[in-house]
Amino acid sequence: MPIYNAPLRDMRFVLTEVFDYENDVASLPGYEEASLDLVDAILEEAAKFCENELQPLNLSGDEEGCHYENGVVRTPKGFKEAYDKFREAGWTSLANDPKYGGQGLPHVVGFAVEEMICSSNMAFGMYPGLTQGAYRAIERWASDDLKDLYLPKMTDGTWSGTMCLTEPHSGTDLGMIRTKAEPNDDGSYAITGTKIFISAGEHDLTENIIHLVLAKLPDAPPGIKGISLFLVPKFLPKEEGGEVVPGPSNGARCGSIEHKMGIKASSTCVMNFDNAQGWLVGDAHKGMRAMFAMMNAARLGVGMQGLGLAEVAYQNAAAYAKERIQGRSLTGTKEPEKAADSIIVHPDVRRMLLKSKSLTEGARALAYWAGMLLDRQHRHPDEAERAEADDFVALITPVIKAVFTDHGSDAANLAVQVHGGHGYIHEYGVEQFVRDARITQIYEGTNGIQALDMIGRKLPEGGGRLLRRFFHPMQDFLMENMADPEMAEFVKPLFKSFGQLQQLTLHIAQKGMADPEEAGAAATEYLRFFGLVAIGWMWARMVKVAKDKVEGDDTGFYRAKLATARFYMTRVLPETASLGLAIMAGKKPLMELEEAAF
């Protein structure tokens, strides 16, 4: 049976020692009551809920999966009861606007809670996670009437939400969608079409499900410029006894659920819309703008899924490595009272564990920093500060989505490897992490799409404005700490990789202007290179804190930080060298092979 213990000590370290939550977040307008003591209490309670309520359902939920019959979906045993407790405890409303019944807490707090949910039960987390994505789009783009009607119910969790984008013939290329929206006399629209791969499209956890559906109006121009976004409830709301409750069915029906590799307790649905009544969200033919509001939030959420799975996979691998005895240490017996030594004495086992540990802890710091900047983007009183934070979040979003989910998948596979044959057995739970993690690299835009977004949109935007939000402060940090002898072994390799990243960025920009395929051929390696440097910067910042606290460190926490940072700088960051060579090889090795030869 797998284990999970929320890494609260590490979360606090990032929020309060590496970064300054009190001054950078709690001081923002509207967050004055979100003190560190309050946040600490919230994280403690979230940890208890995830460890005691959600994690015990993860393995059984995977074994049972969802059940479909005549358009109705039932979630696995225990999920409905757990969701009711989740909703009643207020976990659905953490970062939502108090105007709609939310708690108005900072986004970074939501990030930390989301990480714990994904570690303990990723499939369960899909349901409230999709609702948050839909909430954000409605909050930003819908009319006040739609907000007032739907957002309170989505905030308290009695109604949930979905994103209905993909169609059987139209995945990434959304300009090809065929779902139609015909105007009704009352200002609403009749929505007709089929959507596939709709997470949480039908289930028994909430009273109503609010679908956000991409469709085309009769006068829509071709391609993505003709897409509009519509709000389509499963049940039409009605007023009853002064309360808004679900009314008649609305022609939005689940046709089937997918039988998947992983996240089996999350219903992935084919949704059929048959003249379902919907309401326009935002402007006609401007649905892509609203859709990206959902997608950007969802991509950060998927990145947190990768981080959460990496953490729980590492925990289980480390626990097993300490318990499993096989063979003796290469330097002599370490545990003579036992028939063999624990496998954690072996260098290769330690290599796997440290790779997972170093990337996970570095990724957590990068994610929480992004969350804090997201709060600055929303709340800072200075417009220039908000714009700068917005630029950084936009730049780092594809990195968080792709690099974190690649790492989540790698960490899950490493956990299986550490377990050996037992890792391949279902009851140990780590093979489920492999299956659950695999989808994170695919949905909300495959990781290849994230790489293209990085080089095609983020790098050139504003003449490199977004990049400057990252390059300039990192350059300043490195120069400030280069002369510190205690920082040298960490800063020097990072400075070298950072310099190469700058050179490769210029190279790709120049090559890409002349031939887009040159940039496309380098995209995936460039995105990973960027991510490794970004995580390296986080490790350097963690070292700067930890080195001054080692003396008198009875727990070993800060010593472990320095040792893990050293592993990252010497055994993980050097991967950038091979990535650089691959980038410089250009497109020829990829494109010269004739199609018939594949």
Task: Supply the residues annotated as catalytic.
Answer: 444
**Helix ranges restricted to H, 482-571:** 488-514, 516-546, 557-567
Look at strands 159-164 and 208-216 and give their pairing.
parallel
Determine the Cα–Cα distance for residues 436 and 443; give it in Å rounded to an integer.
Answer: 12
DSSP SS3 for 199: strand
Closest listed residue to residue 91, CA positions, set 61, 65, 120: 120
| Strand spans (E) along 97-188 | 159-164, 180-183
Residues 6+ apart with CB under 8 A from 128: 86, 91, 92, 117, 157, 160
Determine the Cα–Cα distance for residues 291 and 137; give it in Å rounded to an integer.
Answer: 7
Q: Give yes or no for a contact between 316 and 322, defined as CB atoms under 8 angstroms apart.
A: no
Determine the Cα–Cα distance for residues 501 and 495; give it in Å rounded to an integer.
Answer: 10
Look at strands 180-183 and 227-233 and give their pairing.
unpaired
DSSP SS3 for 419: helix
DSSP type of residue 596: G
CA distances from 470 to 285, 299, 363, 406, 425 (A): 34, 19, 16, 22, 43
Determine the Cα–Cα distance for residues 259 and 308; give it in Å rounded to an integer.
Answer: 23
**What's the angle, vertex CA 475, arms to CA 22 and CA 521, rounded to 5?**
110
DSSP SS3 for 73: strand
Residues 6+ apart with CB under 8 A from 81: none
The type of residue at 150 is: Y
Closest listed residue to residue 459, CA positions, set 532, 408, 356, 530: 530
The crossing angle, in degrees rounded to 10, of helices 347-379 and 287-323 is 150
Residues 6+ apart with CB under 8 A from 323: 342
Q: Give yes or no for a contact between 512 and 565, defined as CB atoms under 8 angstroms apart.
A: no
Determine the Cα–Cα distance for residues 263 and 280; give it in Å rounded to an integer.
Answer: 32
Main-chain phi, psi angles of 236, to 5 degrees: -70, 130
Determine the Cα–Cα distance for residues 384 and 372; give it in Å rounded to an integer.
Answer: 16
Q: Give yes or no for a contact between 231 and 279, defined as CB atoms under 8 angstroms apart.
A: yes
b or e along 471-490 (b: 16 or more beta carbons within 10 Å of the residue's beta carbon)?
eeebeebbeebeeeeebeeb
Structure tokens at 323: 């318990």
Residues 6+ apart with CB under 8 A from 358: 539, 564, 565, 567, 568, 572
